């Protein structure tokens, strides 16, 4: 029986040959996207490197004292470093303790092994403290770093490790493995959502993430269409992992950009949402889509910083507020400009207000009158009386229009009829 997953066979054979020859690298960096089983691979390698009687095909015996101690988590020649429970970072004190462990003599006649996962969680001081151990390793020591974001590791760390890359397996291999795990329904969609990573797809299936994803997409549509606000959405989804929400949003954005660039894109990560995403893409200009993508990527980069519960809701609200970039700026119907003094100017009938365009008067606010539809086809009634019985926008829900030349966009509201 293989100690590793089917798509890891080549990397496993390579390291087993080096293990038998006694020339394993002292520093090994396992890199690849999330959900490929790199952490499990690292533990399997650690176990066989510690095993007293490994099989000829590179599998730990599971019976010797070293294997028993490893499974119990008490092997004196093995250590694993991860972020503490209340932190997202591996701190310098943890690395200093680890360095002390690596400096001790081996208690068994095999390797001394340590795993740091995820390695990108090390803060700057922790990473710098690790350099000396990588530069001057003890004999028969093996340090395994596991990461899905190698760019976040200092170049000095990366250059001192031998890199072993893991890629998503062929689609038929991944689908076959998922079926072997008892996943029979929506396997294609699960794998698309996981970007080809089988373990991530399995986790989606077990957590029923697809149903939550559809609910979140519907909620986000309501935000873009002005039917809900960022604060309410942030409160509703405050218990859901923000990284997962950002992953979904970035995936939808990538598909929307594909639809804007091509009528029939070659690939789509969300085939079940294709019609809705295409409709949304048609209502937003490409520049706004890229701006939104950049904003969400910045939020994702912020996830490595510690967040308390109050900040968690705030971060979600800030994340959702960037969707003002996507809210419709094209409105077909009768447009009247409301001056600063509240006096109605002449209407501009049947005009399409383009993104960034201002009426000739360039007044600060724009009012819409009954019977209009926004860029998504939603019909609105306007319920705030002004002079002469006319009606203007309320400040609920969101429809982003322009406020003054060269000024920031302003969110004003509509009430659905």
Could you report the per-residue pLDDT of 260-309, keeping only the tens digit for each? 998 888 888 899 999 999 988 888 888 888 988 888 888 887 776 655 54
Integer Cα distance of 226 and 42 in angstroms: 48
Strand 410-412 and strand 399-401: the pairing is antiparallel
What confidence score (pLDDT) does residue 365 get? 36
- The residue range of the domain holding 273 is 213-325
- For 19-36, what is the mean pLDDT? 94
> Which residues are within 8 A (CB) of 131 and not within 5 positions of it... i.e. 6 or more apart?
156, 157, 160
More confident residue, 255 or 342: 255
- Answer yes or no: do 13 and 43 share one domain: yes
Indicate the helix (H) or strand (E) that contains 192.
Answer: helix 187-193
The string of pLDDT tens digits covering residues 335-373 is 333 333 333 333 333 333 333 333 333 333 333 333 333
Confidence of residue 167 (pLDDT cuts 50, 70, 90): very high
- Who wins on pLDDT, 401 or 27? 27
Q: Are 370 and 376 in contact (CB under 8 A)?
A: no
CATH of the domain at 285: 1.20.272.10
Residue 386: which pLDDT band, with cuts at 50, 70 and 90?
Answer: very low
Scanning 62-142, the segments in alpha helix (DSSP H) are: 65-72, 92-103, 124-135
Q: Give the highest mean pLDDT range of 39-48, 52-61, 354-363.
A: 39-48
What's the alpha-carbon Rg for the chain, to the nearest Å? 28
* pLDDT at position 144 over 80: yes
b (16+ CB within 10 A) / e for 106-123: eebebbbbbbbbbbbbbb
Rounded mean pLDDT, 14-24: 92
- Assess whether 238 and 381 both reside in one domain: no
**Is 1 a domain residue?**
no
Determine phi and psi for 344, rounding to 5 degrees. -75, 130
Residues 146, 226, single domain; the answer is: no
Pair (273, 232) in one structural domain: yes
Residue with tokens 């306007």: 382
Average of per-residue pLDDT values in the chain: 77
Rounded distance between C-alpha atoms, residue 384 and residue 390, angstroms = 8
**What residue has token string 């990108």?**
120
**Same domain for 351 and 231?**
no
Q: Which of 126, 107, 110, 128 is nearest to 118 (CA)?
A: 126
- How large is the average pLDDT for residues 197-203? 95
Examine the pLDDT at 310 and tell me if it is beyond 90.
Answer: no
Stated pTM of the model = 0.72
C-beta separation of 161 from 28 below 8 A = yes
**Shared-domain flag, residues 178 and 290:** no
Whether the per-residue pLDDT at 57 is higher than 50: the answer is yes
Q: Are residues 264 and 292 in the same domain?
A: yes
- Token digits of residue 161: 């490790």
Domain boundary among 306, 325, 344: 325
* Residues whose CB is less than 8 angstroms from the CB of residue 206 and which lie 6 or more positions away in sequence, other chains included: none
Give residue 195's Cα distance to chain centre.
11
Residues 378 and 261 in one domain: no
Q: For residue 91, what are its two tokens?
A: 């701190």
Q: Residues 163, 179: one domain?
A: no
Dist. CA 282–CA 340, nearest whole Å: 33
In whole angstroms, what is the distance from residue 355 CA to residue 400 CA? 10
Cβ atoms of 122 and 130 closer than 8 Å: yes
Within a domain: residue 146?
yes
* pLDDT attached to residue 229: 77
Same domain for 153 and 53, yes or no, is yes
User: Please, which pLDDT band fits residue 61 given cuts at 50, 70 and 90?
Assistant: very high
The residue out of 325, 352, 368 marking a domain boundary is: 325
The pLDDT, as a whole number, for residue 107 is 93
Query: Is the backbone of residue 116 left (phi > 0), alpha (psi -120 to 50) or beta?
Result: beta
Burial class (CB in 10 A: 0-12, 13-18, 19+), 341: exposed
Q: Is 134 helix (H, G, I), strand (E, B) or coil?
A: helix
Judge if 44 and 135 occupy the same domain: yes
Distance (Å, rounded) from C-alpha 61 to C-alpha 237?
Answer: 46
Domain count, the chain: 4
């Amino acid at each position: 029986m293989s100690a590793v997953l089917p798509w890891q066979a080549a990397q496993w054979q390579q390291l087993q040959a080096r293990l038998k020859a006694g020339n394993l690298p002292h520093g090994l960096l396992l890199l690849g996207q999330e959900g490929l089983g790199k952490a499990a691979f690292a533990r399997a390698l650690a176990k066989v490197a510690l095993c007293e009687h490994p099989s000829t095909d590179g599998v730990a015996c599971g019976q010797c004292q070293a294997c028993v101690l490893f499974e119990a988590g008490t092997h004196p020649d093995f250590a694993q470093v991860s972020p503490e429970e209340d932190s997202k970072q591996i701190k310098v004190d943890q690395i200093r303790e680890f360095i002390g462990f690596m400096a001790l003599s081996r208690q068994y006649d095999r390797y001394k092994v340590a795993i740091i996962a995820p390695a990108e969680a090390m803060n700057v001081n922790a990473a710098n403290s690790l350099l000396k151990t990588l530069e001057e390793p003890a004999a028969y020591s093996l340090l395994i770093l596991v990461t899905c974001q190698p760019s976040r590791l200092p170049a000095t760390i990366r250059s001192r490790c031998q890199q072993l890359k893991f890629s998503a397996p062929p689609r038929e291999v991944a689908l076959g493995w998922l079926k072997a795990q008892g996943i029979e329904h929506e396997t294609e969609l699960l794998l698309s959502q996981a970007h080809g990573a089988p373990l991530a797809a399995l986790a989606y299936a077990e957590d029923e993430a697809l149903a939550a994803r559809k609910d979140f997409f519907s909620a986000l549509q309501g935000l873009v269409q002005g039917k809900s606000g960022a604060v309410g959405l942030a409160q509703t989804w405050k218990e859901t992992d923000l990284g997962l929400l950002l992953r979904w949003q970035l995936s939808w954005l990538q598909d929307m950009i594909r639809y804007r660039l091509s009528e029939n894109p070659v690939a789509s990560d969300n085939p079940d949402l294709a019609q809705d995403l295409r409709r949304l893409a048609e209502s937003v200009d490409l520049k706004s889509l890229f701006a939104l993508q950049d904003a969400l990527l910045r939020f994702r980069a912020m996830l490595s910083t510690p967040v308390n519960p109050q900040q968690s809701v705030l971060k979600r609200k800030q994340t959702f507020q960037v969707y003002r970039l996507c809210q419709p700026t094209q409105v077909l119907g009768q447009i009247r400009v409301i001056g600063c003094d509240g006096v109605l100017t002449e209407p501009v009938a049947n005009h399409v207000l383009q993104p960034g365009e201002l009426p000739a008067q360039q007044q600060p606010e724009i009012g819409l009158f009954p019977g209009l539809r926004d860029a998504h086809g939603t019909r609105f009634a306007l319920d705030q009386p002004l002079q002469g019985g006319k009606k203007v926008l309320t400040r609920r829900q969101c429809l982003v229009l322009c406020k003054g030349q060269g000024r920031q966009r302003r969110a004003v509201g509509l009430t659905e009829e």
